[in-house]
Structure 1
């Protein structure tokens, strides 16, 4: 059976429960990432009051997670193209369980910053590889739907954190929510040891030791006949492209830069929204309990937007839909800055903002995953997300700095709105490149 036939067989065949279980594990891992990313937002008010931490210092605590994620995405995530997606995801899950469990024992802000940076490194390793695995585990019919469903895991992580934060903090202190997050990551590691298979494309492209045995085990588990020998490797087209070509091919490099700019602007706005929303709502006169519950509404908007844009990612004009989402998000960000202190209206607008801000980003991620060939998917997405996470650092720190300088909501929300417009411009440039044929995505059969 030729290599292309193996891929096409799995892409055209109905999915088995083992494939759905693997996707479910990826969703749980992404839920853990969402929880890890949001947990500081709910612990911050208590830490600030206990330790007397200034807003600008909290901005550093928030931003350092994104800095660590950038380092993990740039430096470690691409190693999955060499050592395997499964190895990197399980290693990062175990690492995250440890870093989250250590946070309750910190004694000062410096130690907290160090652990949040290390947590970010783990998130940076996991996130790009989850995108790749879900696409590679799925058939053509359900690929985009399952990829978007996987990203709902991040929104679910926000919702879970929002749902349990107030109760756990009231009963056991802010330290308890970090133990809860550690348990989620430990579960991913332990269950994944037995039920998370390696990527088919990695096995065929890199041929690690025992590749034939791993391939046949996967084929049999998924209800297909084994093969007697490994298919001959393909050497044409996108399959031959390596990390070096990612950095030297002008078309791919320029497309990666545009993907990265769009990612940077997304994270600039999203980290601000995730980290500072509870504090801003409290400052606006909304009760602490209601402010912490805002994560539930943001998660709802994120989930609906993820499903909608997962469907739109299959359309002919998908990038223009993404571009429009960035523009609408910019308008909503500006509107939030002008809203009066009201216990209900800001929450509704935040839900709508999450729909477009997160949904358009998920649509872009799905398109980027399909743009890169299997041999360089982790590297391509790692660079894209690494560039993007730098925006998270800037977004978190900028908000804290502006608050310390006395800026009001109406003053700094337009700054974030303009950043989202820059992202829309980058996505529009990508759409023009694709229409002109200057940037061509990887063939669908390899997705």
Structure 2
């Protein structure tokens, strides 16, 4: 077995859970960043005199940056290492958040939102893979669920900071995000190891010592150069089929992209537009932030709930259920917000389900690819998923300016999320975790 397979078969150590926690902390930055724009939307719109389309563009430019970061920065993780790329991305995120906080105009703010997005995209692509690589097979779904829950934690913190800033200076929210990203940069530089899979494949200077130090911290036996050479030879033999990988994986790749696009469309609509739409629908800004906070709170537990469910049923099947329920609860939420306590309760469910859908996409995607293509495959899936994230706030802004109500916008976004279930049905015969579940009884 190579190192990745050894980690997959061994028990999960406390050090591995620490790495998952560090990656989760980085994912918190994504939640804080997106919701910082959403919760300060009314104040930013007033200060810069923006209409719906212009505010939607301001939200989208950050998401464009995330797409660029995921698709263009992620491949460099295989060249310079996952850890250096994460540190570079955190530095970009820090600059972007502080720059947005000091922006004198919407245009300048948009530039720094793009920089922040590029940094966040690079962080997500690398930290998601690191979470998978340092988790064993039994707990990988749960670990990815915990990782995804970081978004909800960050979003909840953003909502709390924004709530204290209501009626004050919205820039406080972005300053807080800048300091949080700077803190993450320091903590990650001190504690996060390099990916053992990267060290095994690229073999930079001192690779063996770094691998064995990490394995020792995980309570695993050390390896030798002979072990690495044997694993490399096995991969080289398996690599003979790589020339036809595009043809073999084209259909599942397109279906995975469609899964990410539809989920992220609904996810970023809910997280980007909810407070602004509710204010314009008659709620006070404080009540709208409270409703948005309910979605964030639900998000902190929804992805973990998905991870637990995925240990019982096939992850793809669980994701079908989550996407359908999320679509139904989105509609129930928007028609119930006039009763604040009811809207709050349903908002928690919406946050839990839509965040669970993100965890599901992260879990369903990696098994579709062989190990040597997994990082690139997931990086591009994340990048393509940002198309849905980019289109969501932009289309919502255009439709809002055309006279669409909050209810109509929510129903439309829910329909897009429901399409995900249809896509996942088509993915069944390509999913290696679905096929064995059907064939095992026959083999018995």
* TM-score (norm. length: structure 1): 0.90
1:347 matched to 2:347? The reply is: no
Match of 2:394 in 1: 397
Match of 1:294 in 2: 291
Relative to structure 1, the CA distance from residue 242 to residue 31 in structure 2 (aligned partners, 3 Å threshold; closer, same or farther) is farther
1:31 matched to 2:28? The reply is: yes
Match of 2:373 in 1: 376
Relative to structure 1, the CA distance from residue 40 to residue 349 in structure 2 (aligned partners, 3 Å threshold; closer, same or farther) is same
1:114 matched to 2:111? The reply is: yes
My pick for the range that moved more, 34-43 or 294-303, is: 294-303
- CA offset digits 1:149-185 (Å, max 9, x no partner): 11111100000001111214555x1111111111111
Match of 1:443 in 2: none
Q: Following the alignment from structure 1 to structure 2, what is the Cα–Cα distance between the partners of residues 399 and 37?
A: 16
Of 322, 329, 337, the match for 2:319:
322
**Which runs of no fewer than 5 residues in structure 1 stay unpaired?**
441-447
**Which runs of no fewer than 5 residues in structure 2 stay unpaired?**
438-444
1:412 matched to 2:409? The reply is: yes
Matches within 5 A, 1:112-151: 112-151=109-148
- CA offset digits 1:379-438 (Å, max 9, x no partner): 111111111101111100111111111111233333212211222211111124337989
Relative to structure 1, the CA distance from residue 71 to residue 238 in structure 2 (aligned partners, 3 Å threshold; closer, same or farther) is farther
CA deviation after TM superposition for structure 1 residue 32, in Å: 1.2
My pick for the range that moved more, 280-289 or 29-38, is: 280-289
Match of 2:212 in 1: 216
Of 193, 199, 204, the match for 1:197:
193
Q: 2:148, 2:358 within 8 Å by CA — same for their partners in 1?
A: no
Of 80, 91, 97, the match for 2:77:
80
Match of 1:444 in 2: none
1:207 matched to 2:203? The reply is: yes
CA deviation after TM superposition for structure 1 residue 239, in Å: 8.5
Q: Following the alignment from structure 1 to structure 2, what is the Cα–Cα distance between the partners of residues 238 and 48?
A: 56
Q: 2:302, 2:356 within 8 Å by CA — same for their partners in 1?
A: yes
Match of 1:93 in 2: 90
The number of aligned residues is 435
Q: 2:70, 2:380 within 8 Å by CA — same for their partners in 1?
A: yes
Relative to structure 1, the CA distance from residue 321 to residue 209 in structure 2 (aligned partners, 3 Å threshold; closer, same or farther) is same
CA deviation after TM superposition for structure 1 residue 35, in Å: 0.5
Of 167, 171, 184, the match for 1:175:
171
Q: Following the alignment from structure 1 to structure 2, what is the Cα–Cα distance between the partners of residues 73 and 415?
A: 27
SS of alignment partner, residue 249 of structure 1: helix
SS of alignment partner, residue 431 of structure 2: helix
CA deviation after TM superposition for structure 1 residue 93, in Å: 0.9
SS of alignment partner, residue 344 of structure 1: helix
Match of 2:181 in 1: 185
Q: Following the alignment from structure 2 to structure 1, what is the Cα–Cα distance between the partners of residues 95 and 120?
A: 13
Relative to structure 1, the CA distance from residue 34 to residue 241 in structure 2 (aligned partners, 3 Å threshold; closer, same or farther) is farther
> Which of structure 1's runs of 4+ aligned residues deviate more than 6 A?
435-440
* TM-score (norm. length: structure 2): 0.90
Q: 2:90, 2:181 within 8 Å by CA — same for their partners in 1?
A: yes
- CA offset digits 1:76-99 (Å, max 9, x no partner): 112212322111111111110111
- CA offset digits 1:72-123 (Å, max 9, x no partner): 1111112212322111111111110111011122111111111111211111
Relative to structure 1, the CA distance from residue 257 to residue 125 in structure 2 (aligned partners, 3 Å threshold; closer, same or farther) is same
Q: 1:326, 1:360 within 8 Å by CA — same for their partners in 2?
A: yes
Q: 1:145, 1:307 within 8 Å by CA — same for their partners in 2?
A: yes
- CA offset digits 1:313-340 (Å, max 9, x no partner): 3345321221122122222233344447
Q: Following the alignment from structure 1 to structure 2, what is the Cα–Cα distance between the partners of residues 284 and 106?
A: 29
- CA offset digits 1:230-278 (Å, max 9, x no partner): 52134557995599769x5223222121111111111111111111111
CA deviation after TM superposition for structure 1 residue 225, in Å: 4.2
